[in-house]
Structure 1
Amino acid sequence: MKITVVGAGAIGGLFGSFLCKSGEEVTFVDINREHVAAIQAAGLIIERQSGTEVLTVKATTNIEEAGTPDLIIFSVKAYDNQQAAEDCLKIVGPDTIVLTVQNGVGNVETLSAVLGAGRIIAGTTAFGCTVLGPGRIKPSETGSISIGELDGRITPRLERVVAAFTKAGVEMHTSQNVDSLIWTKLLVNVGINPLGAITLLTNGQLLEHEETKSLQAAAVAEGAAVAKAKGIEFMTENILEHVRGVARGTYNNKASMRQDVERGSRTEVLAINGAIVAEGQKLGIPTPVNETLTKLVKAIEKRGKI
């Protein structure tokens, strides 16, 4: 397949590297000129426990240079969705698929409004990844990807995308309920990301303090109440224990929102905890903990880099 990665940072870079290794034709597109220049000069550098891997790949800041792809991996930050989706209009063909595994909710709706719901495949990933610097990423050692069609069908194009990742050795799952996938991952982010950003603790360390454990439980409970009111079921029976299992399993990881505040970058808190608040307001469900966490993270954003 001819593949364009739109947003070639942490997860975009990692997914693109998988597809490069499976023999697909991949172009990385990113608005960060320094990052793109580094990839052009020295390749995409992937730091693993087993050693450093360097991939020679095509990278550009001009999306039109990518040509018309079979698949777009859409992995920009949620607040850049609208502009990035409009940029994708410059390259999509009649059969181009758009895959999003972004954090938060609202991503599918924005992409569908701009690019058409019929193009979209959505899902989640259990991989973590950190941008160490321009052209350099460090992924988690383990992970998986779960994706599905919005209407729940298992289609030939879905199987084609799964096969491309599987060929690179990635653990892949298909889902007939992407809303459940997305909201289960949303609650993981609700319970880990803002607390990591505010306290600067690792994911696992959040479980070692009664204060952060209590806040985590309250934030997740509010999110679960909103999901229940929307008729959304989770992929697990006990969502709080699932969140804590993820935190334990990624003990040393810095949450992506923590990485953002450490860089002085804008976060995705409005698409995560802020989304719980917004949905709660529509449904008449109080979400004071998520509202407080959202405001604290936004205040930290305004402070800038530590």
Structure 2
Amino acid sequence: MRIGIIGTGAMGSVYAGLLADAGHDVWAVDLWEDHIAAIRRAGLRVSGASGDRIARLNATTDAAEAGPVDMVVIATKADGVEAAARSALPILTPDTVVVTIQNGLGSADRVAAIVGADRLIVGVVGGFGASLPGPGHVHHNGWEFLYLGASGEAAADKVAPTAELWRSGGFSVKEHADIASMVWEKFICNVTFSGTCTLTGMTIGEVMANEGAWSVATACAAEALAVARARNITLPITDVEPFVRAFGSRIPNARPSMLLDHLAGRRSEIDVINGAVPRVAAESGLAAPVNATVSALVRARESAFD
């Protein structure tokens, strides 16, 4: 299959490297010129939970160079999804499937408005703990799951073949009929660790081992779960603390992408993760004071990044 991965930061590079190593014709598309140049020159090194390999693939800063593709993966951060979706339009055919995979809430709707909901598959990943040690090299601490679900009824028949394509790259894929449940299950885990790790500088395991940090993290999770229940989201969670602890225990040495952004002096996705909880809570007549406080502190730190 011919695949365009738009946004080859840490997670996008994992997707690109493992799908290319499985024999697919993969195009990595990113604006980071040093990363693209390194992939062109020596391939993409993928190390960590899946082993250590050099994947050979195409790389470009211009999505149009990929030509018509069978699948587009939008793997940018939430604030880049609209630009990524527009850049994908020249390489779409009537049969091209678009998979969008982001943290937080709201990205899928923005992508659907550009590429069309009838071709859109929404993805949620967890347990990877991916980072970029340098240009042309991605490392991931885990290799847990990829959930896929159709954005609308017209896309439902595209989920199974798309899942098989990802399985060919070694990904553990589960097909979901209930996208809201799928998104919120991961969202609650993001809310637990993202802001708390960012403010403390701790890894996921260190947060779980620290009484003070863990109390803040689990309070963030509890607020998010309360909002999900108020919105009648069906979730496989009875007690939130063991649920998020089980998630974190699989990648204790990982640093969430929000913390990695701050370590690099970049603004984060706070508005679609912890910052989304009080906003969505208000729609249901609820408050989320812990997430509001965590978000305000993260934004305060980011004010020094300009």
**TM-score over 0.5 for the pair:** yes
**Retained in 1: the 8 A contact 2:78–2:269?**
yes
Distance between the aligned counterparts of 1:279 and 1:300, measured in 2? 23
Query: How far 1:44 sits from its partner (Å)?
Result: 0.7
Cα distance change on mapping 1:114 and 1:50 into 2, 3 Å: closer
**Retained in 1: the 8 A contact 2:185–2:235?**
yes
The normalised TM-score by structure 1 is 0.94
1:35 maps to what in 2? 35
Q: Residues 165-195 of structure 1: CA distance to partner in whole angstroms, max 9, x if unpaired?
A: 2223322111111110110100100010111
Structure 2 residue matching 1:148: 3-state secondary structure: strand
**Retained in 2: the 8 A contact 1:152–1:178?**
no
Query: How far 1:289 sits from its partner (Å)?
Result: 1.0
**Retained in 2: the 8 A contact 1:166–1:172?**
yes
Cα distance change on mapping 1:160 and 1:35 into 2, 3 Å: same
In structure 1, list runs of 5 or more residues that go unmatched.
none
Distance between the aligned counterparts of 1:37 and 1:188, measured in 2? 34
Q: Residues 44-77 of structure 1: CA distance to partner in whole angstroms, max 9, x if unpaired?
A: 1122378642112100001110112111111001
1:149 maps to what in 2? 150
1:219 maps to what in 2? 220
Q: Are 2:13 and 1:13 equivalent residues in the alignment?
A: yes
Q: Residues 64-95 of structure 1: CA distance to partner in whole angstroms, max 9, x if unpaired?
A: 10112111111001011122222222322212
1:84 maps to what in 2? 84
Cα distance change on mapping 1:191 and 1:9 into 2, 3 Å: same
Matched letter for residue 265 of structure 1: R
In structure 2, list runs of 5 or more residues that go unmatched.
none
Q: Are 2:195 and 1:182 equivalent residues in the alignment?
A: no
The normalised TM-score by structure 2 is 0.94
Distance between the aligned counterparts of 1:71 and 1:108, measured in 2? 16
Q: Are 2:167 and 1:166 equivalent residues in the alignment?
A: yes
Structure 2 residue matching 1:273: 3-state secondary structure: coil
Matched letter for residue 249 of structure 2: R
Distance between the aligned counterparts of 1:238 and 1:304, measured in 2? 37
Give me the CA root mean square deviation: 1.9
Of the structure 1 ranges 154-163 and 96-105, higher mean CA displacement relative to structure 2 is found in: 154-163
Matched letter for residue 61 of structure 1: T
Same amino acid, percent of matched pairs: 31
Q: Residues 270-302 of structure 1: CA distance to partner in whole angstroms, max 9, x if unpaired?
A: 111111121122222111111111111112222
Matches within 5 A, 1:182-221: 182-221=183-222
**Retained in 2: the 8 A contact 1:145–1:171?**
yes
Aligned length: 305
